[in-house]
Amino acid sequence: MRDSRIKKVLVIGSGPIIIGQAAEFDYAGTQACRELKKEGLEVVLINSNPATIMTDKNMADKIYIEPLTVATVKKVIEEERPDSILPNLGGQTGLNLAMELAESGFLEKYHVRLLGTGVDGIRNAEDRQCFKDMMEKIGEPVVASKVVHTVEDAVAFAEEIGLPVIIRPAYTLGGTGGGIAYTMDDLVEIAGSGIRMSRVSEILVEKCISGWKEIEYEVIRDSAGNCITVCNMENVDPVGIHTGDSIVIAPSQTLSNREYQMLRTSSLKIISSLGIEGGCNVQFALNPNSFEYAVIEVNPRVSRSSALASKATGYPIAKVATKIAIGYRLDEILNEVTGKTYSCFEPVLDYVVVKIPKWPFKKFLTADKTLGTQMKATGEVMAIGPNMEMALMKAIRSLEENVDSLILPVLRDLTKDEIRERLYKKDNERIFVVAEAIRRGISIEEICKITTIDKFFVGVISHLVSIEKELEENNLDQELLLKAKKYGFTDKVISDLTHKTEDKIKELRAEYGIKANFKLVDTCSSEFEAKTPYYYSSYDEENESLRTDRPKIMVLGSGPIRIGQGIEFDYASVHGVWALKKKGYEAIIVNNNPETVSTDFDISDKLYFEPLTPEDVENIVEVEKPDGAIVQFGGQTAIKLTESLDKMGVKIIGTSPRNMDRAEDREEFDKALSKCGILRPQGGTIFTVQEAKEVANRLGYPVLVRPSYVLGGQGMAIAYDDQEIEDYVNEINKVAQEHPILVDKYMMGKELEVDAICDGEDILIPGIMEHLERAGIHSGDSISVYPALHIERRHIETIIDYTEKIAKELQIVGVLNIQFIICQGAVYIIEVNPRSSRTVPYISKVTNLPMIDLATQVMLGKKLKDLGYGIGLYRKSNYVCVKMPIFSFEKIKNADTSLGPEMKSTGEVLGVARKFSDSLLKAFIASGTNVSKSGNILITVRDKDKIEMLPIAQKFYLKGFGIYATSGTAKFLEDNGIHVTKLDKLWEGQNSIIDLIENGKINFVINTPTKGKQANRDGFKIRRMATECKIPCFTSLDTVNALYEAIEDEISEEDLEIVDITEI
């Protein structure tokens, strides 16, 4: 039964999206908030991430978009006086905060109960030594390991147990700072960085068992001690690669009943001994040649794996964990899938699920692509199929990497020996290398030996390769075509292999009567009648997805979380679905991201967990025959499907495909702008380097180079000379471009951004946002301020006027996003995106204007005038809101941290206050920047920035900061009367730059990058060093000015007033 003492609950969110802590906690937090509200409890929420669905006004009674720090959470507790706190659904961030509050006695003082697992249980699971002791006590095997606090102790222990060893820092997420050491030199380096990263300066040195199978169990336990396993999962990549970077399959495929039950029993024993109340994840290493196993790790909370397990089985782990936390027993919680049975059962899968991580390596050309114990993926895709082959093929194409099968063209150019060599390398292309190795005749035995991947998985890949070969060599008869479809080959891949056109394959399928059918995900393999409207495609005979005769609209989702296309687009998709449902439509969602709210089966009327490719979407269209489709909400993933949907005869709801194209197509867009009398930076379209150079020289350097139809500025760069043009254009052309590359005059000015709704006649602008960093830094990486504070009235008028003109000219119906630039007193439009944007969730929240809801109504035919929010520019908020980008640079070794036109941030935080400087300070604190008001700054800037840097250096100098600078910068500052400590050596000696950074003597680094992207320059090394030592490193002087503004007044975090955004 529910614990009647619980009346008001504080939920802690997980903060910004970073590598290792992504959208899965919005999914978990949203489920938690909805469940608590459904139970009639008062919910107070704190989360610094404005892009989330959980921070929506209908999710909680009080919402604080505030820094997730102990000081701020304390203030929220003092203000709201909740009786309990739910810590285990907000990832590691939420858990750590709750632990600090509990351990310091604060919770007790304010009579706040920790719901779910108790403090001891969390400590026993999280603290390395406690965990080890506990496991020894209950007789569960762990890997030989020792907790140490110094590098010397790490070395001593490694000598005792022998190399290689794994380093795991305590209290970090995604294994930050960890790694495998094969030599003593490695060990010294990795142990040093691990100790720095750990909140408690603690690392675990552990015997390396790489090559063992890595198996996970998702377990749930209630306060009465009932426990079940929701599912188990097997990593295709054995121990050694972080599970977040592994290809994962559910359920396990290579375990015997004995192994399965042995690990299951162990999981239940562990969760019981820890006293977990809620969800928990147990990771095992299993010796493939014996029944020996070891417990690797336990997460005493809902995790990325539990999100995956939820979506893989249909069992809503976060919801059930929430109910357990407020007192329910598993046998009291109804299984919503059947509506009759209870949640105290173990789901059965009559299908296979494959997850593949989405890595950001295309963004970071210099980055180390090796996979190890440090997670590098930003997101993931999941696919469901009746066999592993099909699920794997679906997952590969869901990644949107321009690869639709196991054929990776670049590998074709390598020799057999080179391929064999590549098998030793653990990187993001590993699975394709295995496939290529099979094609070249390297034996399965040898591949297994080198990679330590289980023979079963190599066999699956080999099976797919053999089908490729059959397609290439044999006549495409009915039997072969059906076989190819059943194992996941798309028409496009079949057409490439058989040298027939895609249309011909489609024709053949029609002739042979081969079409996709849909199967239900029901948690019980049809044992009970299920109500879940959750489907996946197969080529079996029976179709379980029955079309209703209600009017229905399909919403195309945004796929995996990646830099440039994050959780903001899931926010829009979910709100679109809700708006459609409210208006009486059946809302059908298609998406493939297991971390999101949109793929919860109770969000839409029907959920299709499928790749977002034209063929996969067409299969759904054939069954559902929707009255229309919405592509505006799912980012570029959905936009890319517009043309195909149009061809299938599906009506695009809102802005027409033709008009969307006019916004993207360079010439048409230019025409539209000039028709409206709007200026834009001069530019041209090109395909080749030669053309690019011509255009660039005509415009004059610097110029902005970018491919069309991308999001997040992928491949975008500022070129200063012919050489750079050549480099950048060649880089873009590595992938065949369907559309021309754009070359524009780079204008250094103030950037502004507008999200608006247009109904074809009127527009509504919730607010105008100003970027603190000048043009040239991607809007997603800029600090964005609402309302715009530093803009003249007349420019605001112009922006409104231009927005209205261009929206009407492009006949926008729905949302649009416009980027403006103000340069030398004139307003220019840089681009118009006829879709929802990254800023929509944040601007909706801070202006209290439900953009997506209104846009959806407009798309369904309503007029803005009738919707009650007026037209034109919406009334200005009394609060100033600062959105700040968050980067995950420390996770990706050798990624360049300097900011430019290509977006690099993974997430964002928001600071809300009445005063701009307070909002800024909040945002900096929320971003984890150490906002010291004194200390030392290291300045090293390129020549052309020196003049501009001078007043900044003066400000910090006068405030009492010590200034350190490299020789050129130092001389310039000295000449201008600033006392500087000059540094000339990067590496050597006591006072080398690296030494100062490592020893924490520097509080901030200001480094503006010289042109070029080479990783061997000193500036690059300084930036990396600062990042790895968690010292803020600013590469734009505008950001430094913002920082100064935030710390200028002697205001501390304690002085800042917290703001409940539902009151705005």
Partner 1 sequence: MKGKLVSDVSNLDEIIEEIKSYKIENAVDTVTRKREVTYGSGRAKQVALIDYGTKDNIINSLLKRGVSVAVYPAKTDASMILASRPDGIMLSNGPGDPEDCQEEIENLKKIYKTNIPVFGICLGHQLMALANGFKTGKLKYGHRGANHPVKDMETGNVYITSQNHGYYVLEDSINPEIAEISFVNLNDNTVEGIRYKDKNIFTVQFHPESCPGPEDTAYLFDEFIDLVKGENEIQGKH
Q: Does 261 bind partner 1 (CB under 8 A)?
A: yes
679 by Cβ neighbours in 10 Å (0-12 / 13-18 / 19+) ranks as: middle
Query: Minimal distance in Å, beta carbon 291 to partner 1?
Result: 14
The four Cα atoms 715, 717, 721, 723 give a dihedral, to 10 degrees, of -30
> Nearest 5°: CA angle at 639, between 633 and 642?
115
Q: Does 342 bind partner 1 (CB under 8 A)?
A: yes
Minimum CB distance to partner 1 smaller for 56 or for 259: 259
Helix (H, G, I), strand (E, B) or coil at 787: coil
Mark the segment that binds partner 1 (CB under 8 A) among 74-82, 223-231, 375-383, 466-474. Answer: 223-231
Query: Minimal distance in Å, beta carbon 347 to partner 1?
Result: 7
Specify whether the CB–CB gap between 388 and 462 falls below 8 A.
no
Minimum CB distance to partner 1 smaller for 332 or for 727: 332
Among 78, 445, 527, 948, binds partner 1 (CB under 8 A): 527
Among 156, 184, 225, 748, binds partner 1 (CB under 8 A): 225
Q: Which two tokens stand for residue 640?
A: 């890319």
950-989: contacts with partner 1 (CB under 8 A): none
Nearest partner of 787 among 916, 873, 880, 915, judged by Cα: 880
Nearest partner of 54 among 85, 91, 29, 18, judged by Cα: 29
Minimum CB distance to partner 1 smaller for 138 or for 224: 224
Q: Which two tokens stand for residue 351?
A: 């299908």
Specify whether the CB–CB gap between 240 and 182 falls below 8 A.
no
Mark the segment that binds partner 1 (CB under 8 A) among 222-230, 503-511, 615-623, 1035-1043. Answer: 222-230
Query: Minimal distance in Å, beta carbon 256 to partner 1?
Result: 9
Minimum CB distance to partner 1 smaller for 219 or for 645: 219
Query: Minimal distance in Å, beta carbon 224 to partner 1?
Result: 6
Query: Minimal distance in Å, beta carbon 329 to partner 1?
Result: 8
Collect all residues with Cβ–Cβ distance below 8 Å to 580 and sequence separation of at least 6: 553, 555, 586, 587, 630, 856, 860
Specify whether the CB–CB gap between 13 and 68 falls below 8 A.
yes
Mark the segment that binds partner 1 (CB under 8 A) among 256-264, 502-510, 908-916, 952-960. Answer: 256-264
Among 345, 536, 802, 879, binds partner 1 (CB under 8 A): 345
Q: Does 344 bind partner 1 (CB under 8 A)?
A: yes
Q: Does 529 bind partner 1 (CB under 8 A)?
A: no
- Sort strands 683-686 and 628-630 into parallel, antiparallel or unpaired: unpaired
- Number of residues that this document lists for the chain: 1064
Q: Does 268 bind partner 1 (CB under 8 A)?
A: yes
Mark the segment that binds partner 1 (CB under 8 A) among 257-265, 597-605, 772-780, 1000-1008. Answer: 257-265
Among the residues of 835-915, which ranges form H helices?
A: 840-847, 851-859
Minimum CB distance to partner 1 smaller for 226 or for 811: 226
Q: Does 228 bind partner 1 (CB under 8 A)?
A: yes
Query: Minimal distance in Å, beta carbon 344 to partner 1?
Result: 5
Separation CA 750–CA 821 (nearest Å): 5
Q: Which two tokens stand for residue 421?
A: 């060599």
Query: Minimal distance in Å, beta carbon 310 to partner 1?
Result: 17
Q: Does 226 bind partner 1 (CB under 8 A)?
A: yes
Query: Minimal distance in Å, beta carbon 14 to partner 1?
Result: 31
Query: Minimal distance in Å, beta carbon 911 to partner 1?
Result: 47
Among 79, 100, 153, 346, binds partner 1 (CB under 8 A): 346
CB atoms within 10 A of CB 549: 6
Binding mask 317-336 for partner 1 (x = CB under 8 A): ------------xxx-----
Minimum CB distance to partner 1 smaller for 70 or for 348: 348
Q: Which two tokens stand for residue 548?
A: 């209703």
Mark the segment that binds partner 1 (CB under 8 A) among 125-133, 234-242, 282-290, 524-532. Answer: 524-532
Q: Does 264 bind partner 1 (CB under 8 A)?
A: yes
Nearest partner of 138 among 296, 295, 297, 282, judged by Cα: 295
Query: Minimal distance in Å, beta carbon 209 to partner 1?
Result: 25
3-state helix, strand, coil in the chain (%, to 5): 40, 20, 40
Among the residues of 374-477, which ranges form H helices?
A: 388-398, 416-423, 430-439, 444-451, 455-473
Minimum CB distance to partner 1 smaller for 69 or for 254: 254
Query: Minimal distance in Å, beta carbon 228 to partner 1?
Result: 6
> Nearest 5°: CA angle at 1054, between 11 and 784?
75
Minimum CB distance to partner 1 smaller for 524 or for 716: 524
Query: Minimal distance in Å, beta carbon 438 to partner 1?
Result: 32
Helix (H, G, I), strand (E, B) or coil at 599: coil
Q: Does 339 bind partner 1 (CB under 8 A)?
A: no
Query: Minimal distance in Å, beta carbon 763 to partner 1?
Result: 55
Query: Minimal distance in Å, beta carbon 136 to partner 1?
Result: 22
Give the total of residues touching partner 1 (CB under 8 A).
26
Separation CA 395–CA 354 (nearest Å): 7
114-173: contacts with partner 1 (CB under 8 A): none
Tell which phi-psi region holds residue 275, choosing left (phi > 0), alpha (psi between -120 and 50) or beta. Answer: left
Query: Minimal distance in Å, beta carbon 335 to partner 1?
Result: 9
Mark the segment that binds partner 1 (CB under 8 A) among 232-240, 255-263, 513-521, 1006-1014. Answer: 255-263
Specify whether the CB–CB gap between 19 and 378 falls below 8 A.
yes
Specify whether the CB–CB gap between 309 and 218 falls below 8 A.
yes
Query: Minimal distance in Å, beta carbon 350 to partner 1?
Result: 11
Separation CA 169–CA 153 (nearest Å): 14
Minimum CB distance to partner 1 smaller for 320 or for 621: 320
Mark the segment that binds partner 1 (CB under 8 A) among 128-136, 346-354, 694-702, 850-858. Answer: 346-354
Specify whether the CB–CB gap between 564 and 713 falls below 8 A.
yes
Query: Minimal distance in Å, beta carbon 282 to partner 1?
Result: 15
Q: Does 265 bind partner 1 (CB under 8 A)?
A: yes
Among 50, 121, 179, 347, binds partner 1 (CB under 8 A): 347
- Sort strands 227-235 and 248-250 into parallel, antiparallel or unpaired: antiparallel
Minimum CB distance to partner 1 smaller for 255 or for 692: 255
Collect all residues with Cβ–Cβ distance below 8 Å to 256 and sequence separation of at least 6: none
Query: Minimal distance in Å, beta carbon 268 to partner 1?
Result: 7
> Which amino acid type is present at position 422?
R
Long-range contacts of the stretch 728-737 (C-beta < 8 A, 24+): 729/686, 729/688, 729/689, 729/692, 729/705, 730/689, 731/365, 732/705, 732/706, 732/707, 735/402, 737/687, 737/707
Among 348, 679, 710, 986, binds partner 1 (CB under 8 A): 348
Helix (H, G, I), strand (E, B) or coil at 44: strand
Minimum CB distance to partner 1 smaller for 279 or for 928: 279
Mark the segment that binds partner 1 (CB under 8 A) among 225-233, 448-456, 468-476, 604-612. Answer: 225-233
Mark the segment that binds partner 1 (CB under 8 A) among 237-245, 523-531, 661-669, 684-692. Answer: 523-531
Specify whether the CB–CB gap between 1043 and 1004 falls below 8 A.
yes
Nearest partner of 487 among 354, 579, 582, judged by Cα: 354
What residues line the site for partner 1 (CB under 8 A)? 224-226, 228-229, 257, 260-261, 264-265, 268, 329-331, 340-342, 344-348, 524-525, 527-528
